[in-house]
Amino acid sequence: MTYLPRFQTRRRAKFRSILFILLLLPLSQGCTTAITHQLRFDPTEPLRVAVVPFYQVDETGAIVDSDPTLFLVDNLPGVSKELEDPPAVVVQHLVERRLADTAFDVLPPVGVQADLVHHSLTKELSYDHERIRSLSPQELCALLSCDALLYGTLRTWDRDYYGLQTVSSLAFDLRLIRAADEAVLFETSAENSESRGLSKGPTGYSSLVIEPLRGLDNEILVDLARETVQLALAPLASSSRAAILDTPPPAIYASAHDARNSVVGRMQPLTVLAFGTADQAASFSIGSVIQNVPMDEVSPGHYLGRYFPLPTDSFTLLPVQITLSDRYGRMTTQEIALGPVELTATTHDIQEK
């Protein structure tokens, strides 16, 4: 899928003096891995989990924008290839793939993205991380139709070049929070680094020059992140994954209704449209007054339903909500963002009352 973020802040691989690295060599040999876990629930517990968009922070904890295309070293032919996504998104992708080894029912990323866009939790073609994180887990899961949220923060994504050695390093934090009681079910803090050059690699003169340059390749950091994510999520791995989890739960990508100025006309039906996962059972409701009006799948993933008001029907400013359910009974809902609708009583109805 295509993620929204495309950022503007310039970053550079850091270059240090040869003397400095010679002083550091006794302290930075090979790989360094540090991972801590806190597991506070049974990981086989069935949970529908939504992955909240990851972001990167600086030393003070402030959110930073990192553009993968602006590392100067990535413009050197034969040294490194540009990342297609910001580092935080790269780590998020790796985490999402690893969640396939858990017992969780993970919402498809495209569905999460569609819901965040649908509820205006974006800003200038990127996620509005501040607004997303300002919502409580209960509020956010109500929008995403989930039981728990997985939050991720990237603290470090660096390639340090010291002349005779390059050190690639990353660090990130993950937290799994249950929406019902906002309990932190799982959290992990992971740090990892790998060095190339004088402290690790061939001893030939040419290798001392080439190996540190090879260490600037983005692929090394991506491989390091892949290994670290696997270790970080190891406590959540489950060998008893249900067959139902081989397919993601239904997702709703967009929805709309045709009520003009939020008013449902008595002489014409309210038409409701939805676009989502194909081959699902679809319906819509208007508040708690009009429930489960069936919708037809008119083409793959495109659903249409109509509500014809009865003479006795009336309601004021109620939300319209779409529901998709699969053959396993898993349901996903989305409130139409166009706003609530109303059906006012006719003059005849008022006189009767």
Q: What does the DSSP assignment read for 232-299? A: HTGGGB-S---GGGGSPPP-EEEEEE--BTTB--TTSPEEEEEEESSS-EEEEEETTTEEEEEEEEEE
pLDDT at 203 exceeding the cut of 90? no
- pLDDT-derived band at 227, boundaries 50, 70, 90: very high
Confidence bin at 82 (pLDDT 50/70/90): low
Average pLDDT over residues 239-249: 82
Given this model, what pLDDT does residue 239 score?
81
pLDDT, the chain, mean? 81
Confidence of residue 212 (pLDDT cuts 50, 70, 90): very low
Q: How much is the pLDDT for 351?
A: 40
- Alpha-carbon distance of 194 to 51, in angstroms, equals 28
pLDDT at 185 over 90: yes
- pLDDT, residue 288, reads 93
More confident residue, 81 or 27: 81
Of 180-184, 202-206, 306-310, minimum mean pLDDT range: 202-206
Instruction: State the virtual CA torsion across 239, 243, 246, 252 in degrees, nearest 10.
Output: -130
Helix axes 87-98, 218-232, angle to 10 degrees: 40
Q: Please say whether the dihedral angle defined by the alpha carbons of residues 151, 155, 156 and 157, taken in this order, is positive or negative.
A: positive
Q: Going from the N-terminus, what domains does the chain have, and what CATH number goes with each?
A: 14-246 (3.40.50.10610), 252-352 (2.60.40)
User: Which pLDDT score is estimated for 68?
Assistant: 52
The sign of the CA dihedral 24, 25, 30, 36 is negative
User: pLDDT band at residue 346, thresholds of 50, 70 and 90?
Assistant: low
**What pLDDT does 70 receive?**
47
- What mean pLDDT comes out for the span 61-66? 81
On the question of pLDDT at 294 being above 50, the answer is yes
How far is it between the farthest Cα atoms of the chain? 98
Give the integer Cα–Cα distance in Å for 45 and 50.
Answer: 15
**Which helix (H) or strand (E) element contains residue 207?**
helix 205-214
pLDDT at 16: 43
Task: Measure the CA–CA gap between 187 and 150, rounded to whole angstroms.
Answer: 9
